[in-house]
Structure 1
Amino acid sequence: MSLCPSKCFRIAALAAASIVLGTQIAIAQEPSIGSQWLNTPASRVEALAVLQTLNANLLSNASATLTLDRWCAGHKLAPEGSKILAQRVRGQAKPADDHIRELLTVGPDEPIAYRRVRLVCGDRVLSEADNWYVPARLTAEMNQALNTSDIAFGRAVLALNFTRTNLSAKLLWSPLSEGWDMDGLIASGRGSPTLPPFLLEHRAVLKLPDGTPFSTLVESYTSKVLDFPVPRSLAQ
């Protein structure tokens, strides 16, 4: 006899899916990456709870870099003491359009810098980000670091004591099928569920303490954020 009827799984899944109010769900990618998670109702509910925990942590903290530092350490995704590094992606410049300039409250002639990076925890790419920022609103030292090193943006501008205004948050994949709350969870299957390359997408504006925006970004979080051994209770 099961120790937890399907109703328990429904309640747990509903709680996980409701952690972040207002998060949009856009299941738009084809699954393509294997995972260590089990293809069971309990494991799928656990995966959703973990994903929404990360989602909530990112949305409630100003710096995605520091949030990923903690996620990387807490889930042992890299050797102890590792910090998030930014791998620059060059040759893919995206000039700021009118919408970007409006978000940053700058005129058509104000220089806007662009930086595309992959945020890496050890050998795992946890996110890819497009970042447009106003160099004139940073210090000379910050601009120098951003132009000449692989420092993550959030770490480079930490001294600004900035805040974050979230514009949107999309869940790009869910381990639970559409309509699970009415039809019930799918039965256990063989192997592991497959994951798409990206699981979450956030859009945000970073602001100085006086409310002046200095950066706007699009962050896409990869399936590697779930690339750790499944909880022991699920593996047994």
Structure 2
Amino acid sequence: MTMTDVYDEPAGIAPRGTVIVAAGRGEHAGAYARFGKRISADGYRVRVLPDVTADLDAAFDTAGKLLADDALPGPKVIAGSDTGALFALALGPRPDALILAGLPVARPEGINLLGGWEAEIEARTACPNHRRVLGDGASTLLAPIPPALSAAVEQTSLPTLGLHGDADPISPLDEARPLYPGTLVAVAGGRHDVLNDVSHRTVAATIVLFLERLRLGPSLPVIAEAL
């Protein structure tokens, strides 16, 4: 079973739902500490699975156990980044909703378009704090997408929020747009790690607004509307 990082709602606050984060290629669970703390501060329990491609079977098993855990409040949402977004789609109808970030565009195997770790950091984020968290490492974003996930891009009937950087060089927005079911929000200047890029506060706020509407029903009733 894959170990998960845990972020719970503040003491004295009734939990409002659960967000299970599926990290993408090369992403360790600790990269989502800031995200987990921010979403949990609004009353949502957050559980983070590290790079799901490292052990796909274990990740599916862990996600299934979390979705079936009655101790975790609903609605239960899978939030996936990069191949984690494909993982979320591959889970089928088990979650109550999906949050898909940085859906990857398929690239030929064995071709590294980035040219090393420094170039990968540039492609992933402009946020200095996220760069520090990522640290040093081998280039990982262009690792082959597992076959079990490469066919996962399909329409879903679940309420879905998509988030994609309009400056993503790994998965250009124009190419990725047709892959997204549901609502897609383009993040101005956003790079590939859109959940952890410079606009992470706006992205988190957008997610909380989605979660609050989901609590009212799968049709996502409007709470606030500009007139």
- Measured against the shorter chain, the TM-score band is under 0.3
Higher strand proportion (structure 1 or 2)? 1
Q: Which of the two has higher C-alpha Rg?
A: 1
Give me the TM-score of the superposition, normalised by structure 2.
0.21
Give the structure, 1 or 2, with the largest relative contact order (CA under 8 Å, sep 6 or more). 1
